[in-house]
Amino acid sequence: MADPMKIRANLAGDTTEVKVLMSHEMETGQRKDAQGKVIPAWFIQNVTATWNGKTVLSAEWGPAIAKNPFLSFRFKGGARGDKVQVNWVDNRGDKRSDEATIA
């Protein structure tokens, strides 16, 4: 199973800033291994972030996102103690869902 994400969510004024690190190979499908065999593509395709059940960001990614992806964005609203949840699904159907409390 995939390793957990590291999510930070911080309130500044009326805006919540979310920073996410994900543990993923993000293999492009363009590289070859030592035997010359193509290493199959393996990457996160969909990311969604929700706050109180409302989607605050959703994304489609290709394999050109860097290994161990980083993502940061801001949304209006959010209060200390609220939960921000982030989900991802990769091209093999592996998923991961983690949450953080707004600080």
Residues lying near other proteins in the complex (CB under 8 A): 3-4, 6, 15, 19, 21, 23, 25-26, 28, 30, 45-46, 48, 54-77, 89, 91
Structure token digits, residue 67: 């290994």
Minimum CB separation of residue 15 from other proteins in Å reads: 7
Looking at the Cβ atoms of 6 and 80, the one nearer to other proteins is 6
Please, which residues have CB within 8 angstroms of residue 35's CB and are 6 or more apart in sequence? Answer: none
91: left (phi over 0), alpha (psi -120 to 50) or beta: alpha
- Judge contact between 38 and 29, C-beta under 8 A: yes
Looking at the Cβ atoms of 4 and 101, the one nearer to other proteins is 4
Minimum CB separation of residue 29 from other proteins in Å reads: 9
